Amino acid sequence: MEQNNNFKPYIPAEKVTPEITVTSIIMGILLAVIFGAANAYLGLRVGMTVSASIPAAVISMGVIRVLMRKNSILESNVVQTIGSAGESVAAGAIFTLPALFLWAAEGITQKPGIIEITLIALIGGLLGVFFMIPLRNALIVKEHGVLPYPEGTACAEVLLAGEEGGANASTVFAGMGFAALFKLIIDGLKAVPGEIAFRVKGFAGEIGTQIYPAVMSVGFICGPRISSYMFAGGLVSWMVIIPLIVTFGENIVLYPGVTTIGQMFSEGGASAIWSSYIRYIGAGALAAGGIISLIKSLPLIIRTFRDSVASLSTKSSNNQLRTERDIPMSVVLIVIAILTLAVWLIPAIPVSLLGAVIVVVFGFFFAAVSSRMVGLVGSSNNPVSGMAIATLLIATLILKVTGEGGVAGMTAAIAIGSIICIVAAIAGDTSQDLKTGYLLGSTPKKQQYGEIIGVVASSLAIGGTLYLLDSAWGFGSEQLAAPQATLMKMIIEGVMNAQLPWNLVFIGVFIAVAVEFIGIPVLPFAIGVYLPVHLNACIMVGGFIRLFMDKSKKEESKKQAMVNDGILYCSGMIAGEGLAGILLALLAIFHVDKVIDISGFLNLPPVVATVLSLVLFAIIICTVLKFSAWRKRKQG
């Protein structure tokens, strides 16, 4: 049975309306590149990305329905399908590929070429789409009502509420504009510091906050629970572990540091201790968190894989209804075979035949896992980094045992991990998009073509984006911590060279285990341990704003409306700051950044600068309320 007999999509199978058009392709490609670049910047800063499906759907409705006066919901759905692929390619790429840049900075290897990055992203993205096609019937159709696919369902609801598209689109665009303005004031003109810190004399801990709109928006979208877990991890590392290290190790030289801890602290403060020691503790916690989440999912993984393989042999080829037509299975298998050979034979990709086999086996396995996981718990909780960690550990061990060690083995391992990471991210995104299409009555084959277009467009853009960001600030810097990529680099080096400070790593591992025992989600807490507390505090502010709205005494419909407006505005702010960050990176490369820097001219005293930063942060918070809570209050 292909179609659920009790389910009727919004657009009946018998009705044919425009889907893939010149308008939807052009808009989708633009949004794929924009949200891909914005999420690459965001992920490299805070270690998290956000879904682009809903803001892309809202923007497409604003243009197609309001400006072009067309009533074509399936056309809008194709726009968000193409556009959201950019975010997923970016997420998979930035979790792994910056490790190659970090090795190049250390003189271990050469920087990856843009062609290499593009091919890795393209092959990973296409494999993610084509692995998902045979799974659609088993997971989207047959388990309709069992697997909710929260983001896909929410996106369908947004598209169905098309008459509000104009107002919602204006909210997204307002967020983009305001965030770009704030970013240019903070990091372009440098009129106020982007980070404020507070210290107590005689105590080595440090607390403070960043004031960036995108970082705060992450907290609002993730909600107060996830934000509080991240902030708690930051408090443990910056207000407990750093003071302990300084208190007990003042006169000690502890690897990987090269001076005494006391001297390191006096010269660089708590940030120096974080850079030398806390990052390794955080890496251990992150690795343990990823593996724990994977182990907890094992029963689900095994069941999903079994059902997916069974669906391949039972799938009907008699797709008569428009809403049941996938890309033919013969085409799917041929493309997968060609992509597998490409991984092995293309010189720019440093992967052997064994590595290509690992890619296909783990790729299909984790595509099935990713699709089922996002169906149950949503894309935000999809353990992509955990899958990448498991892949890297196994692939690195296999490569080392079979003689592919050293620099060649390390680059091969990161290439394999990158492709798998992108496969898992794209498979999850494709699942959500196909769920949206299933509810609306889209043609699956046309959506799958849309995913392919989005993957190609964002793959062509991601290499330039990574080079741009690296040239401006450098991965692993304060501006772009690249937490996941740094972790992947550490794992590969640890397996290949056994040079990690394992004591610090194991401290992080057992912090994660302890946190798991008391019932706190490990990954957000571990990310909090790894990242600077100032960044976590800014995320927590966004979480508090969301908590304020969630606890509102307004009736449920009005409360939900203002939360949705807040999510749309914050999604716009993330995109706006990301684009402004790309613009500032261009200015830095051409040395124009010094020309617009007015910090020297202003020469503000530290106290005044701190106050002005807090005032600007308050204005940023007020804009969120203006486009969400206060807007609804006025309407009410």
- Cα separation, 399 vs 411, whole angstroms: 11
Tokens 């726009």 found at: 79
For 393, the domain range is: 22-173+291-487
- What local confidence, expressed as pLDDT, does residue 312 receive? 57
The β-bridge partners of 210 are 195
- What local confidence, expressed as pLDDT, does residue 457 receive? 96
Q: Is residue 113 part of a domain?
A: yes
* Structure tokens, 428: 């999850």
* Structure tokens, 92: 């998979």
Q: Is residue 200 part of a domain?
A: no
Q: What is the DSSP letter of 259?
A: S
Q: Is residue 233 part of a domain?
A: no
- What local confidence, expressed as pLDDT, does residue 163 receive? 45
Distance of CA 45 to the CA centre of its chain: 11
- What local confidence, expressed as pLDDT, does residue 567 receive? 86
Angle at 99 between CA 94 and CA 105, to 5 degrees: 125
For residue range 190-228, what is the model confidence (pLDDT) as tens digits?
999 999 999 988 899 999 999 999 889 888 988 899 889
Q: What is the mean pLDDT of the chain?
A: 85
For residue range 262-312, what is the model confidence (pLDDT) as tens digits?
999 998 899 889 878 887 888 788 778 777 866 776 676 576 566 656 655
- What local confidence, expressed as pLDDT, does residue 377 receive? 55
Distance of CA 33 to the CA centre of its chain: 15
- What local confidence, expressed as pLDDT, does residue 301 receive? 59
Q: Is residue 205 part of a domain?
A: no
pTM of the model: 0.75
The structural domain count of the chain equals 1
- Cα separation, 208 vs 270, whole angstroms: 12
Q: Is residue 202 part of a domain?
A: no
| Residue 368 vs residues 91, 132, 155, 246, 427: alpha-carbon distances, Å | 18, 7, 22, 47, 8
- What local confidence, expressed as pLDDT, does residue 49 receive? 75
- What local confidence, expressed as pLDDT, does residue 382 receive? 62
Q: Is residue 415 part of a domain?
A: yes
Q: Is residue 101 part of a domain?
A: yes
For residue range 129-178, what is the model confidence (pLDDT) as tens digits?
999 988 888 778 877 877 778 778 778 877 876 645 455 778 888 888 99
- What local confidence, expressed as pLDDT, does residue 423 receive? 94
- Cα separation, 155 vs 434, whole angstroms: 11
- What local confidence, expressed as pLDDT, does residue 378 receive? 63
- Cα separation, 452 vs 122, whole angstroms: 9
Q: Is residue 107 part of a domain?
A: yes
Three-state SS for 414-430 is HHHHHHHHHHHHHHHHH
The β-bridge partners of 196 are 209
- What local confidence, expressed as pLDDT, does residue 1 receive? 35
The parts of the chain modelled with pLDDT lower than 50 are 1-3, 163, 165, 316-317, 319, 633-636
For residue range 502-529, what is the model confidence (pLDDT) as tens digits?
888 899 999 999 999 999 888 788 888 8
